[in-house]
Structure formats: C-alpha cells, structure tokens
A and B are shown apart, each in its own frame.
Chain A
Amino acid sequence: MIEILLFATIKAGTPLLFATLGAILMERSGVINLGVEGLMLVGALTGFAAAHTADSLFIGVIAAFFAAMAAGAIHGFICVYLRGNQIVSGLSLTMFGIGITSLFGRSFVGLTIAGFSKVEIPVLSKIPYIGQAIFNQDVLVYFSIILVAAMHIFLYRTKTGLYLRSVGENPGAADTSGINVGLYRMSAVLVGSGLAGIGGAYLSLAYTPFWVENMTAGRGWIAVALVIFAQWNSTRAMAGAYLFGGINAVQLRMQAMGTSLSPHLLMMLPYLFTIAVLVMATLRLEKGSTPEPEALGTAYDREDRK
C-alpha cells in the first residue's frame, strides 16, 4: 500500500517539479515568470504533436523544451532588454499559451500515443517498500530527480551559479564586477522556460498520453506558489512538489478504500503548509535574512544604477 501511494505521489509530483525547477532558475536571476501555466501548455502540445508526428517520445521532449523556450524568449526579451513589467508580461504569456495551444491543438484532440513506459532499475528496485515506487518509474521521473541534484550543484557549487545568484541579488554590483546581467537573465529565462515546457510534456507524454485544451488545469500556478514554498531552493522544491502531488493521490485512494475522512480537509493541507512556510519566512525576514532574491521582479538598467 505504501509503495502504491509513494508511486502515485512521485508521478503526480513530477510535472510540478519540472515547472518549479524552471521557475526557480528564472527567479534566481531576478525574473519573475507568471507565464509558467502557458509555457507548460506550449510544452504539452508541442511535445505531443512532435511525438505523434515523429513517432518518438524523445523527440517530443526535445521539441517541448525548445518550443517553451521560444515562448519564454518573448518574456525574457520584454523583461530583460525592454525592461518591461514582469508581472504583466508573465500574465500575458499565460494567456498567450492557453490561446495558441487551443488554436493549434484542435487537430490533435482525440489522437493517442503510447506514452512513456516504466523502466525498472535492477537491484535498486528490489529495496523493500520504496524500491518499486522510486526505481520503477519512467525515464522523465529519473531525469527530474537528477535535475534537482544538478540544479543544487549548479547554483551553490559552480562559479556560473554564483554569478547567476548575484545577478538576482544585486545586478548593479554584478555588472560592476564584469558580469553580463542581461545575458545571465536571458539564459536563465530560456532554460527555465524550457524546463516548464518539459513539465507540460510530462502530462501529455507520460501522465495522460493525449492532448486536450487546457490540460495542465492550473498546475503552472501551483508551480509559481511552490517556488515560494520551496524558498527558491531546488531540493525543497522536490519536497513541495511531492507534497502537493501526494496529498491528492492519498485523498483519492482513501475514498476508493472507503474511509470517511473528508477529502476537502485533505485537499486543504498543502495550502496550510504554504501559509506556514510563508509565516516562517516572514519571521526569518525580521531577523534580516531572506532567501528571496533581492532584485526579484525589478528590471536592471545600467543608467539607473545607484
């Protein structure tokens, strides 16, 4: 039973995890992106369309990454080079994503593909209780777990990661020390958008292998909230994504087994946790340290430097 629950939890959390990691990367460079929902949809449709046309799931994932990257480039260009309002641009990116995918997705409604299947990792999958749940998933799940570690190493153990964080904290100082602020921010937005696209593609290629309009059903917004829940930290993002995915899996299974605990109560839990995390973050803020990138949401203009 624990195995089944854990399995479902990881599966439900994976699209959220990809999108949250992408959003963390962007926000670490100082760019807020409220367009995650739109990027996920672009990724979901392109991934499905490419996988269906080329008959290759791998090509689907690559296509999703680059298509979402292209959509994210609009946001990056507006925010980084035109110094536009990041909130407005992100919101319109979501609307743009919903609109363009319903327009071009029409001919793909009702088609099916095989979808990613499980790949069992020998030895590890024999570990009692957790083996089957963690080491008998599809390749995208493994990729997402590797990505969590990779992102952590990148942000805290590499010079480029340090530069990226400094661009998000104090772009003026970073610029003075010779870091190309625009380039770092733009690259972060591009790669981050691509990851959000893979999150969407996970839905249309592995979770529910088909395309319907609006199939992300608000997961992009949960990812935006998860960034705050995770306090801009990739390992905590994993915990958060699995928490949100897990609660859902648990409440549905409890219903199926006939327990009488109210599903509404359970569905509320992740949001209660989010509030708790926010309260804790605020308390820490009073002590003077905050994990939120200092320059988050502000455009950088060398001329305006103080």
Chain B
Amino acid sequence: MKKLLLLAVLASFLVLPGCSKKKEEEAKAPEAKSAEAALPAGKDIRAAFVYVGPVGDGGWTFAHDLGRQMMAKLPYVKDVTFIESVPEGAESTRIITSLAQKGYNLIFTTSFGYMDPTIEVAAKFPDVVFMHCSGYKSAENVGTYFGRIYQPRYLAGMVAGKMTKSNIIGYVAAFPIPEVIRGINAFTLGVRSVNPKAVVKVVWTQTWFDPGKERDAAESLLDVKADVITMHQDTPAPLQAAEKRGAFAIGYNSDMASQIPGAWLTAPVWNWGTLYEEIAKEVHEGTWKSSKIWYGLEHNLVDLAPMSKLVPADVQEIVNAKKAELASGKDEIFMGPIKDNTGKVVVEAGKTLTDDEKLSMNFLVEGVQGTIPK
C-alpha cells in the first residue's frame, strides 16, 4: 500500500507545471551539431528563452514568445527552446546554467528579476551571448534590451483624452516602480496634450497577475466616474469591467480587440520579433557586441495597436501624425516645463529628461490623481 501511495505522489509531481519544456524542440538539438559542420559561414544559433510567466498568459510572456517564433524561422537558427514560469532568484540561476551547459549559445532572460542570475552565470560561460530584458547591469557577454513603451502610452493617452466625456480616466497600476510610473506619466501627458481639463486617477493593485483584484480596481475607478480604463497588468479583467459598465478600454501588451469588442480603443504593444531577429543575425555574423538597447517606435519594437472603429477618424489622424513624429526619432514627450502633481516643477522649460532620469522616474506629473505608495 505504501508503495502505491508513493507512486501516486510521484506521478503527480511529474506533471509539475513550472519549468515544463518543449520536448520536440530538445529533440532537434543533435541535428544542430551535424549542421554546424556542413555550414562553415557564420555561427549557427541555438537560442533559449527564460520566461517568468506561462506562454499562455496573453500578455508579457505571450508577446515575447511571438518574437521567439519569428526568430525561429531564420535559416541559421537551428534550435530555439524556452522554459516558462521560471521563478526569479536562485531557481533561475540553476535553469540558466543548465541551458548554457547544454550548448545554447544565445540566451534571453526576459524578466527584471533574472538580472543578477544572468550576470552570475554569464561570467562562467564567456562564449555564450546573454541578453537580459529590462535590467541595468551588463557585461562583456551580457547585453540588455528594453523598449520605450512610454511612447505608445503617450499616444494611447491622446486617444483617451479625446474619448473621455467625464474628463476622468482610470489607470489600474501594478507596482510603484519607475517603469510603471513612467507609463502613467507618459499616458497622462498624452491625455493633457489634447484635453487639459482631464485627470487620470490611479489605483495600485500591487500585483502583476490577479484578475479578480485587477477587475475590482477597475470597478472602483468606474465608481468614481472614470469613463476610459487602462492598465499595466497582463490580464483583460479591468477592460472587461469597463466594457460591462459602458466605458472605453485601452489595453497593454497585445491586441485584445476581439476579447473586448464593445469598448476596445487601442493598446501600447510590444513587437519583440524584429529585435530578436536582429540580435540573432548579429551573433550569427559575429558582429554582436554588448550594448544597452532601448528602442522605441523608430525601431518598431513598440507600437500602438490599430485603433478600433470607436475612435473617430479625426482623432486617429492626430494620433497617427504624432506617431509618425515619434517614429522619425523626434521624442519630446518628457520635454519641460513639466510639473509634478504637487505643483513642483520637475523638468524646467527647454530641458528634457535624460534616459537615466527616465529610467529612475519617481514622481507623478500634473493631472495624475493619486500618490506613489511608500
């Protein structure tokens, strides 16, 4: 009897969710080696991705995985594997090390919390190229990459500012870190550029992923008369709440137009594919050098999802004009004078924030109603 129990418990552990791996892709590995000998020109790529969430999250990890699939189509990319739901911290060190040991020569780690583990493992594998997303530490063989998602957020703010009737816009925010704060500020500046009377109310959920709580946060904003809702988290829950109450919805990460047909306006979205192809090409040709990539609309790394039919043509026109301006490289979103929401001037007239200042942003601009939780 005891043995049976042990078997049953072991069996259930086998279906353990985290760190599930695509078997078929691993099976491709031996082929890659033989192909290497046949093709002397350029280095064959065997890439691996470490994801913080499941690929089915419909948000952050989902967007990265679309990029991975694009990269997998390149002829010299022999093998692209991924490991999903890897916890940040010590566990990730083990996973990244095992990937490097298995001979993957290009490893992407796609969450902020993998920063130190990536640096640590990279020191032991100097021939492997590591790319870490959203961090600030790099090394000889570790590059960093991220996107100026605040640019499409500014554009989304313009749409919101034009669409609101109550002049109250609800923002369901995640954690009070510079990335989220930058998004709120850019969005609000976009709102106020077309509608100086509108305000953006912020509610912090302190979650990245809790559909119930995020929906509740949206409800609380709708209760105080917000008629456009946007959010930073991965789930469509706040947007569904908006749709149900007859408000407009602006998403994030990926195009969810089909899920929220009655309220969807647009969303700031990621296009990781082009960047992943570019990096794979550089490593293949041997031209890759460690750098800190922070691309915006000009590289098409970030974009504004197509605006829905609910957005009138004249609004689409001014938003598209601004988008063209940003895409040409003229980014003056954080150009002074900018006041914070206590009235203090944070960016003086004629000055603009440097990238470092943008990356460590710690104030809310005028027009935001809410505080940064301490």
**Which residues of A pack against B, CB within 8 Å?**
4, 8, 12, 15, 74, 78, 82-85, 88-89, 92-93, 95-96, 98-100, 102-103, 105-106, 109-112, 203, 207-210, 212-215, 217-219, 248-249, 252-253, 255-258, 260, 262-264, 267
Q: Other CB < 8 Å A-B pairs besides A8-B216, A84-B8, A210-B237, 14 of them?
A: A4-B223, A8-B219, A12-B216, A82-B4, A92-B13, A103-B20, A110-B58, A203-B211, A207-B212, A208-B215, A208-B240, A217-B213, A252-B220, A255-B204
B4, B12, B58, B259 interface centre (most CB from chain A within 10 Å)? B12
- Given the known inter-chain contacts A4-B223, A217-B212, A256-B220, please indicate yes or no for A93 contacting B12, CB distance below 8 A: yes
Contact B57 A212 (CB under 8 A): yes
- Tell whether B205 is near chain A: CB-to-CB under 8 Å: yes
Contact A256 B213 (CB under 8 A): no
Q: How many A-B residue pairs have CB under 8 A?
A: 141
Contact B201 A92 (CB under 8 A): no
Complex Cα–Cα for A103 and B373 (A): 37
Contact B369 A258 (CB under 8 A): yes
A111, A212, A218 interface centre (most CB from chain B within 10 Å)? A212
Shortest distance between the CB of B315 and any CB in chain A (Å) = 26
**What residues of A have a CB within 8 angstroms of the CB of B4 in the complex?**
82
Shortest distance between the CB of B157 and any CB in chain A (Å) = 19
Shortest distance between the CB of A265 and any CB in chain B (Å) = 10
**What residues of A have a CB within 8 angstroms of the CB of B1 in the complex?**
82-83
Contact B223 A213 (CB under 8 A): no
- Given the known inter-chain contacts A99-B17, A208-B235, please indicate yes or no for A106 contacting B56, CB distance below 8 A: yes
Closest to A253 in B: B220
- Tell whether B15 is near chain A: CB-to-CB under 8 Å: yes
Complex Cα–Cα for A102 and B53 (A): 11
- Tell whether B115 is near chain A: CB-to-CB under 8 Å: no
Contact B370 A258 (CB under 8 A): yes
- Given the known inter-chain contacts A92-B9, A260-B371, please indicate yes or no for A99 contacting B16, CB distance below 8 A: yes
Closest to A99 in B: B17
Complex Cα–Cα for A99 and B15 (A): 6
Question: Can you give 15 contacting A-B residue pairs, CB < 8 Å?
Answer: A8-B219, A93-B12, A95-B12, A96-B12, A102-B85, A103-B17, A111-B259, A208-B212, A210-B236, A212-B234, A213-B57, A215-B211, A248-B213, A253-B223, A256-B217
Among residues 192 to 212 in chain B, which have CB atoms less than 8 Å away from a CB atom of chain A?
201-207, 209-212
Closest to A16 in B: B212
Complex Cα–Cα for A264 and B371 (A): 13
Closest to A210 in B: B236
Contact A208 B201 (CB under 8 A): no
Shortest distance between the CB of A200 and any CB in chain B (Å) = 11
Contact B209 A82 (CB under 8 A): no
- Given the known inter-chain contacts A88-B9, A212-B211, A256-B203, please indicate yes or no for A109 contacting B56, CB distance below 8 A: yes
- Tell whether B5 is near chain A: CB-to-CB under 8 Å: yes
Contact B211 A95 (CB under 8 A): no
- Tell whether B54 is near chain A: CB-to-CB under 8 Å: yes
- Given the known inter-chain contacts A213-B54, A214-B54, please indicate yes or no for A208 contacting B211, CB distance below 8 A: yes
Closest to B225 in A: A256
**What residues of B have a CB within 8 angstroms of the CB of A100 in the complex?**
15
Closest to B170 in A: A256
Complex Cα–Cα for A273 and B223 (A): 28
- Tell whether B74 is near chain A: CB-to-CB under 8 Å: no
- Tell whether B224 is near chain A: CB-to-CB under 8 Å: yes
